[in-house]
Amino acid sequence: MTTSTTPKNKKIISSAALKLAAVLFWIIVWFAVSAYLGSELLLPSPAATFKRLFELMKEADFWLAALWSLLRITVGCAAGIAVGTLLGAVTAFSRTLYELFKPVLTVVRATPVASFIILALVWIKRDNVGTFISFLMVLPILWSNVSEGITQCDKDLLEMAKIFRFSKASLITKIYVPCTMPYFFAGCTTALGLAWKAGVAAEVLSLPKYALGSELYYSKIYLETPSLFAVTLVVIVMSIILEKLLSLALKKFAGWKK
């Protein structure tokens, strides 16, 4: 057993070392370019960025901004997943409904995010713009993925279910759900990253009281480039953590269903 696990452990360590080396390489490049420019206003050094980050982490308002951004975007993303999944399932079984909703959702997917943000500022309160935009970005992705997953379901399995007279509940749980899950998982992973970026962008324009997007905007206004880089770093790290947590949750769910 030891001989079988050792190569696996070596592979994990090697992969982690390679990723760490890549990160260190780009930090060195960042440091070199910053030193060459010689201006913290144009490009702050890694040291100045991390120093400012630690200063921000001591402020209660910064944590409130991070938590409120997380809450807004998570709620919008979850609502988009729920509605998109339901709509995808309904339109997959009805050609009429599919053709009815397809133009609207295609327009939503193709329209620039900035256009929707500006419209949302007219329609709703600024504190809810990030949630609305996250929802809007997730909806068409889940709709298309779930609809595609159902339509691509194995025809032989459906024929077997017809022969053995599966009930509607059994047909859904034993055939359609397993066939659709890979499409659903892929849609959720893609949608979360897009929802996070679009939600923060919406906050930059709507300026809620507590939001990472607002922190980015004020950093730009007051020419605090180290703050701008520090908050951007937080946005990136939170996005990576959320995607990892979602991936882990989906894998656990898939294993449980299996």
Can you give the pLDDT at residue 81?
Answer: 92
Both 134 and 235 in one domain: the answer is yes
Both 90 and 177 in one domain: the answer is yes
Average pLDDT over the chain, rounded to an integer: 85
Q: Which residues contact 187 (CB under 8 A, 6 or more apart)?
A: 81, 84, 141, 142, 144, 145, 146
Both 9 and 82 in one domain: the answer is no
Can you give the pLDDT at residue 54?
Answer: 92
Both 242 and 152 in one domain: the answer is yes
pLDDT-derived band at 1, boundaries 50, 70, 90: very low
Both 152 and 67 in one domain: the answer is yes
Both 154 and 226 in one domain: the answer is yes
Can you give the pLDDT at residue 2?
Answer: 47
Residue 25 sits in which domain range?
1-38
CB 76 within 8 A of CB 133: yes
